[in-house]
Structure 1
Amino acid sequence: MAAYLQTGGALAPIPVHGLELDPGEVAYADVECTTARFYAAAAVYPKAGAGYYEDHPVFGRRWVPNHRLDARRRQQAEAEAAARWRDQARARLVLTSEGLRINPAGTWLPFDHALLTQVSSAPARHELVLSYSVCEPVLLSGEPVPWLAVALRSLLPAEQLSIFSEN
């Protein structure tokens, strides 16, 4: 398909149901794949310190803090909040002349081609990472992804092709 598109071939428009396209916008693919977003979350630290009550013969019943457990809980909270792929879900994806429209949970999310800053393709793993100037990177994975990468490259203007990389 890449050779066909590079020698002047064009993607065939398709009808799309359940998505209202903008005037002049044309759909080229309607597929399902796995999506995820790469971001860090706010760390949620435990509110109460860890410890136990001790019945001391001299001081009586008292609270003994457990600083090692507190430190381990803080480290776990920071590790959970670290930047990683999150919100993984199966989603319907429509490739249009203007961008990708992704529907992970009943709401269409627009990702316009004009806002792309980097595209990293791993065809052997069926993965495509799209970085945008206005939001976190988006990971697409699944069987249709190599085709989507080739189709996306054919839809972008020549000055934007330098953002592609292949792993």
Structure 2
Amino acid sequence: MSFVPPPRTSRHWTFTAVATAVATPALVWGVDRSYRSTERCLQAHGSSISDSEAEIPDACSEISALLALLILVATAYAAATAITGLCVGVAEGRRRRGFGHRRWFTVTIVGVAAPWALATYAAGYGIGRLLQPPAVDPSWADGRDAARRTLEFLAKGGQPGTVPTPGFLTEEPVHLDARLHYARHYGTVVTYHQTSALAFGSAAFVTGALLANAVGNSNARSRAERLARPQWRDHELTRVVLTPTRTWCYSFGRWLSFDHAAVMEYHLDPHGVVLLFADTEPLRLTGPAAWLHAVLFAYFRFGVPALTTAAFLVPIRATHSAQQPATAAATSRE
């Protein structure tokens, strides 16, 4: 079982297409139906919606209140989707992604169901393309290059260097002492409170109050379920020390020791490593030095042969292989 996070996808476009295709027609239908009902009621009492000075008869108050509520909801919906489209457009344009991730079918659905949202997305996308893309942190490339060079050195029979850590908790030599982002993967128990509403007044007011209370309870339950499900927790930038047999992490004021022999699976991704254990929660370490941790872990846990056979070192070996032809070409020109 792998806890490596999946790559970013464009599922938000599918969700947006489905949501707008359902919400927009529903709101239009509701507003139109309430408007017609209110207009018929007012005409029956000798008035009209366009007459701003006329008083609304008591018989039409509930219908007019529902119409006002639906108009308010529709306005908030249009404003929220427009602002969301603008923000997403700026973010995706700045990252130089394709317009709408080039998912033209879902983009078309959004354009038909919520053209204002697609318009603000397009404006934001154009603004994002004009902005300078985020600067690339060179420490990541340096960390991966250090892991590649260490892998090559150890595979040729070299011995890993040590890091001086006087007074550390163990007498074992320390081969890595770095700052990495620490996280653990587990579920938990979350409590939440449900409320009950007691409302008096017109039928529309009572219905609205009960509906708002039900929505609030549903949101509280959904939030509690989301927080309780297994996920990465205890995020912290911490000190990580690696010895031949253990990885030590200074987490929330105490040292935690992870025995390398207890690691059941080891995974590597572009940003970090994940260690899975049989009797404790998975550990994730993220940062420029994470790939170096992978090389040293493979060396001490499985020996020199693992440097060329371990599956989780494939990205590092691929980086090494990709750089060899460039080095050979440079040597031949010299």
TM-score by length of 1: 0.81
RMSD across aligned positions (CA): 2.5
* Matching of residues 64-79 of structure 1 within 5 Å: 66-79=213-226
In the alignment, is residue 105 of structure 1 matched against residue 252 of structure 2? yes
Structure 2 alignment gaps of length 5 or more = 1-149, 203-208, 316-334
Match of 2:173 among 3, 26, 33: 26
* 1:20-64: CA deviation from partner (whole Å, max 9, x where unpaired): 204xx2211111111101111112121xx323332359xxxxx96
How far apart, CA to CA, are the structure 1 residues paired with 2:311 and 2:300? Answer: 13
Match of 2:186 among 8, 30, 39: 39
User: Of the two, which has the highest radius of gyration?
Assistant: 2
* Matching of residues 1-167 of structure 1 within 5 Å: 1-22=150-171, 25-46=172-193, 49-55=194-200, 66-122=213-269, 125-158=270-303, 164-165=311-312
Q: Residue 126 of structure 1: CA displacement?
A: 2.6
CA contact (8 A) 1:118 1:164 kept: no
User: What is aligned with 2:28?
Assistant: none
CA contact (8 A) 2:245 2:301 kept: no
Change (3 A) 1:164 1:111: farther
Q: Which has the higher strand share?
A: 1
Flag the structure with more relative contact order, 1 or 2, with Cα contacts below 8 A and sequence separation at least 6. Answer: 1
Change (3 A) 1:17 1:90: farther
Deviates more, 1:112-121 or 1:5-14: 5-14
How far apart, CA to CA, are the structure 2 residues paired with 1:144 and 1:33? Answer: 7
How far apart, CA to CA, are the structure 2 residues paired with 1:138 and 1:113? Answer: 12
* 1:81-100: CA deviation from partner (whole Å, max 9, x where unpaired): 11111100011011001110
Q: Could you list the structure 1 runs, at least 4 aligned residues long, displaced by more than 3 angstroms after superposition.
A: 63-68, 161-164
How far apart, CA to CA, are the structure 2 residues paired with 1:81 and 1:18? Answer: 39
Q: Which has the higher helix share?
A: 2
> Structure 2 counterpart of 1:30, which letter?
D
CA contact (8 A) 2:248 2:258 kept: yes
SS of aligned partner of 2:292: helix
Q: Residue 9 of structure 1: CA displacement?
A: 1.3
TM-score by length of 2: 0.42
SS of aligned partner of 2:181: strand
CA contact (8 A) 1:121 1:164 kept: no
SS of aligned partner of 1:54: coil
SS of aligned partner of 1:51: coil
Structure 1 alignment gaps of length 5 or more = 58-62
